[in-house]
Structure 1
Amino acid sequence: MFIRNERSIKEFMQSYPVVSTLIIINLVLWLFINFLQLPIGLMIHDWAIGYNLFVAAGEYWRLVTPIFLHGDLMHVLFNSFSLVLFGPALEQMLGKLKFPFAYLGVGIIGNIATYLFEPLHYAHLGASGSIYGLFGIYVFMIFFRKDLMDSGSTQMIKAIVIIGLIMTFFRPNINIFAHLGGFIGGLIIAPLVLKNVRAYNPWQQRRYRTDDDSIQFDPNRWNKKRILPTKLKQNLPWIIIGILALFGLLSRFF
């Protein structure tokens, strides 16, 4: 479920438009606010950042908007790469309506937990609550919808959740309640969003257009020769993002 087999970024974006849109929003906002530091970006930051005091004053949109904002480069890369890994399977299973509902829903729950348990002067931003919410949905599958996950994916999720929870309590400057709230939110909404869904099919998106513009599976895809350097070149941007995110993660420990 979590090994990407798309042949290019273009194919990934066509197959998973919701995940791709979320990643683009994350990166564009980060560029405007943190890298280019454009006036409009700084205005968006001040208007959208999570700040408990302003939420208490009635600015409830701040329970949603922090999900799309990030701090340093490693922050946005790590969360975007997490979306690349763990978002596509859920987008395919849930569909283009229920997946964004789930992603935003668990993020909002995490931000509500932040508002309830952190002091009024607490400010926060980032999609980590939503990412941990996706983990919560996967954990629900492990215990109650075993038909939706293969054994390899089950073991991977177990390891990632354990490591993620440990990191939550031992890494500095972490919004603990967003992580825990998002994770619990994923467990809560999972029965709703997983109703009547089918297991992830990695080949479902592998289609091609014929002359009459109809969508069909490519009957010759098994006979095509895969040239490693070409595939490596096509996926080089994802590899670079993954390496940078890994270095950013390790830098928080050492």
Structure 2
Amino acid sequence: MFVRTENFREFIKLYPVVFLLILIHIVVWLLAKIPLESMQSLIYYFVGINGNISQGEWWRLITPIITHISFSHLLFNTFSLLIFAPALERILGKGKFILMYFTTGIIANVATYLLENIYYTHVGASGSIFGLFGIYLFFLLYRKDILGRDNAQVLMTMVIIALVMTFVNSNINVIAHLAGIISGFVLSLFTLQRK
């Protein structure tokens, strides 16, 4: 489930949404590195800035999901997508997967806006990534038929490590991580119950 054996062409064909998300992350990150004033301004408008959101710049609740400033942040979130997202795209289907991905990310950014101070800024897909973990947590508790025993053990270990790292590392948007995993779990309760 989490081991990738496909070649590049097969991956694109099997998981087009995941591939598109990864491509968008990389393109936006590269745009941030172009030393042109206009491009720096473009990235500025993608960052979640609570003060600007309060002034009506609502798109900043969405654009941070695809924006990464540092290479390490881009690498971690892209790697997480590469490992954990393909199985969910296959299980949920393309439409429901992308809806859940962006909905959990937006909820994480709204929670950040509501619970952090007016000067707080944030970027990254971590809220959406943790939303995926929330969906998997739902599977672990309510849909064990979808996961095998080995996959369940790997997932539980990864969720625990991710939550621990949320509180150990500095410069982590703790609220987005927690809101992401909670919203992924709660949304799954309403949308992924056995038919």
What is the TM-score of this pair, normalised by structure 2?
A: 0.96
Q: Output one character per residue of 1:154-201: Cα deviation in whole Å (capped at 9) or x when no partner.
A: 10111111111111011011000010010101011113442468xxxx
Q: How many angstroms apart in 2 are the aligned matches of 1:184 and 1:115? A: 16
- What amino acid is aligned across from residue 3 of structure 1 in structure 2? V
Q: Alpha-carbon deviation of 1:53? A: 0.7
From the CA coordinates, give the structure whose radius of gyration is larger: 1
SS of the equivalent of 2:161 reads helix
124, 147, 150: which one aligns with 1:149:
147
- 8 Å CA contact 1:103–1:134 kept in 2: the answer is yes
Deviation at 1:42, TM superposition (A): 1.4
| 1:162 equivalent among 160, 168, 177 | 160
Following the alignment from structure 1 to structure 2, what is the Cα–Cα distance between the partners of residues 73 and 179?
19
Question: 2:107·2:179 contact (CA, 8 Å) conserved in 1?
Answer: yes
Contact kept in structure 1, 2:139 and 2:146, CA below 8 Å: yes
Q: 2:131 aligns with which of 123, 130, 133?
A: 133
Is the 1:26–1:70 Cα contact (8 Å) retained in structure 2?
yes
Deviation of residue 37 (structure 1)? 3.2
How many residue pairs match? The answer is: 195
- How far does residue 95 in structure 1 lie from its aligned partner after superposition? 1.0
**RMSD of aligned residue pairs (Cα, Å):** 1.3
Equivalent-residue separation in structure 2 for 1:103 and 1:192 (angstroms): 15
Cross-structure match for 2:21: 22
Identify, as 1 or 2, the structure richer in helix.
2
Structure 2 match to 1:89? 87
Which of 180, 184, 187 is the equivalent residue of 1:186? 184
What pairs up with 1:71-86 in 2 under 5 angstroms? Answer: 71-86=69-84
Correspondence for 1:68 among 52, 66, 69: 66
Q: Please say if residues 67 and 125 of structure 1, whose CA atoms lie closer than 8 Å, have aligned partners that are also in contact.
A: yes
Q: 1:48 aligns with which of 41, 46, 49?
A: 46
2:5 aligned residue: 5
SS at match of 1:70: coil
Give a deviation string over 1:18-77, Cα, whole Å, max 9, x none: 00000000001101113x334443122111110111111111111111000002111101
Q: Which whole-Å deviations, capped at 9, do the CAs of 1:206-231 have from their partners, x for residues lacking one?
A: xxxxxxxxxxxxxxxxxxxxxxxxxx
Q: Choose from 109, 122, 125 the match for 1:124.
A: 122
- Structure 1: runs of 5 or more not aligned: 198-254
Contact conserved, 1:32 with 1:38, CA < 8 A, in 2?
Answer: no
Question: What secondary structure sits across from 1:132 in the alignment?
Answer: helix
Is the 2:25–2:68 Cα contact (8 Å) retained in structure 1? Answer: yes
Runs of 4+ off more than 2 Å: 36-41, 191-197
- 1:5 CA displacement: 2.0
Instruction: Quote how far apart the aligned CAs of 1:3 are.
Output: 1.1
Contact 1:102–1:193 under 8 Å retained in 2 = no
Runs of 5+ consecutive residues of structure 2 not aligned to the other structure: none
* Distance in 1 (alpha carbons) for counterparts of 2:38 and 2:8: 29
Task: Tell me: CA distance 1:128–1:119, structure 2 relative to 1, closer, same or farther (3 Å).
Answer: same
Residue 85 of structure 1 and its aligned partner are, at CA, apart by 0.4
CA distance in structure 1 between the aligned counterparts of 2:137 and 2:193, rounded to whole angstroms: 15
